[in-house]
Amino acid sequence: QVQLVESGGGLVQPGGSLRLSCAASGSIFTIYATGWYRQAPGKQRELVAVITSSGSTNYADSVKGRFTISRDNAKNTVYLQMNSLKPEDTAVYYCHADRRGLLEVWGQGTLVTVSS
């Protein structure tokens, strides 16, 4: 029922910024938390940031102070503002919806490449 669509990825130089968007549709009321994950070449998928329906946030240590997760409830959209990007941030970034006891939902992913 719930669908997620990511956008905003692209190529950026080290030190640059990008803002990723995750637009949700369907049974939005079932979403407890929305998170951003990433998967770099040759590595497993890892949690980057999460925001709950109550507004609580959490970040991976590697992105604290550089990334900010936020939401616009009116637009059913969650954002990931990424600043001071590093080459090691290069990955496919995925939006994820936690629906408590219901089936989790993943977006299709958007590629972020940080390179000079």
> Does residue 111 register a pLDDT over 90?
yes
pLDDT of residue 62: 97
Task: Answer yes or no: is pLDDT of 101 > 90.
Answer: no
Report the chain's mean pLDDT, rounded to a whole number: 95
Tokens of 106: 């993943």
Residue 100 is encoded by which pair of tokens? 């408590």
Identify the band that residue 29 occupies on the pLDDT scale cut at 50, 70 and 90.
confident
Output the pLDDT for position 103: 87
User: Collapsing DSSP states into helix, strand and coil, what is residue 110?
Assistant: strand
- The per-residue pLDDT for 1 is 82
Tens of pLDDT, residue by residue over 40-70, are: 989 999 999 999 989 999 999 999 999 999 9
Record the tokens describing residue 53, joined without a space.
């329906």
Find out whether 8 and 113 touch, Cβ atoms under 8 Å.
no
Integer Rg of the chain from CA: 13
SS (H, E, C) 20-74: EEEEEECCHHHCCEEEEEEECCCCCCEEEEEEECCCCEEECCCCCCCEEEEEEHH
